[in-house]
Amino acid sequence: MAILYQKKGKITVITINRPDAFNAIDPETLEELNYAFADYNDDHEAWVLILTGTGDKAFCAGADIGKLVPVLQHQWVPRPWKMPVSIARGLDIYKPVIAAVNGMALGGGCELALGSDIRIASENASFGLPEVKIGLIAGWGGTTRLSRLIPPAKAAEMLFTGQPMSAQDALRWGLVNEVVPQAQLMSTAEKWAEKILAAAPLAVMAAKEVMRKGMNSTLDEALRLEWTKIGELFKKRLLRNAESRILLVNRKRLIPT
C-alpha cells in the first residue's frame, strides 16, 4: 500500500509508503492520500494527525515525474481524471495536523508540510520547491503559503532559485517548530500530539478554523468570526453542563434512600 493508516488512540498516523521512490506521489498514491485525509477528517474519535514518510531519507520528494506529471499536464484540456483534494489544496481540515518530516520534503512534499499546522523535522530534513527548474511553479499551495510562514524575502529566495532550505535554517526562520535526531522524530511528534490532546478538542478545532480563515480575511472579519466561535463554544459548554446536571439528578433518583 502506498499510504499506511494507523490509529493510536486519538492519534492518527498517515505514512506515505513509497521508500524506493523517495515517497514521491503518483496518481494512485494521491488517491489513497485523499481517502486517508477524508477518513481522519470524518473520524470523531481521531483528534490529532501525524503525517510522515517511510524511511529516513525522504518525507516526500514531490511528484513522481514519470507518472504524475503526464496526468497533471492534461488538467487544462478535457480529460476524465480529476486531481484529488488534500490538505495542500482543496480540503479544509480543522483538526490539527503535525508533519513529522523525516528527510527531504520537495515540491508537493514540501507543500504537504506547509499545509500542516506544526512541523517537526529530523536533522537531515530539507525543504524545497524546485519547480522553477523545470519551467513550472509550485502549484499545491507553495507559492502562496510559504511567504505567509516565513519572511517574503526568504520565500522569494526559495521560490525563484529552487534551492532547498536545511532543517536548521527552517527552524531559524520559523518554518518548523523543532528539529530533532531522526531516531527521536516520531516520539517527539507524538509528544506534541499529546500536548494538543490535553486541550479541549472542539476549542482546538475552533482555534484552527479562526486562524486559517483569518489569514484570508480582513481584521474586522476575523474578529467577528472569532467572536462567533467563542459564542458557539459557550453554547456547547452550557449544553454539556445542563446535560450533566440532568444525569446527576437521574442518578440520585435511582439511589434508594
pLDDT of residue 76: 47
- Name the active-site residue from 111, 157, 221, 243: 111
Q: Which helix (H) or strand (E) holds 167?
A: helix 167-172
Give, for 112, the enclosing helix (H) or strand (E). helix 108-114
C-alpha torsion 99→104→105→109, nearest 10:
-100
pLDDT at 246: 60
Cell representation of residue 139: 502549484
Among 123, 131, 190, 243, which one carries the catalytic annotation? Answer: 131
Q: Name the residue among 89, 48, 63 with its Cα closest to residue 193.
A: 48
* Confidence at residue 140, expressed as pLDDT on a 0 to 100 scale: 86
Q: Is 111 a catalytic residue?
A: yes
Query: Domains (ranges, CATH) in the chain?
Result: 3-197 (3.90.226.10), 201-254 (1.10.12)
pLDDT at residue number 238: 78
**pLDDT averaged per 10 residues in sequence order, the chain, 257 residues:** 96 97 92 94 96 97 72 54 66 93 97 96 98 89 93 97 98 98 98 97 95 90 92 83 58 54
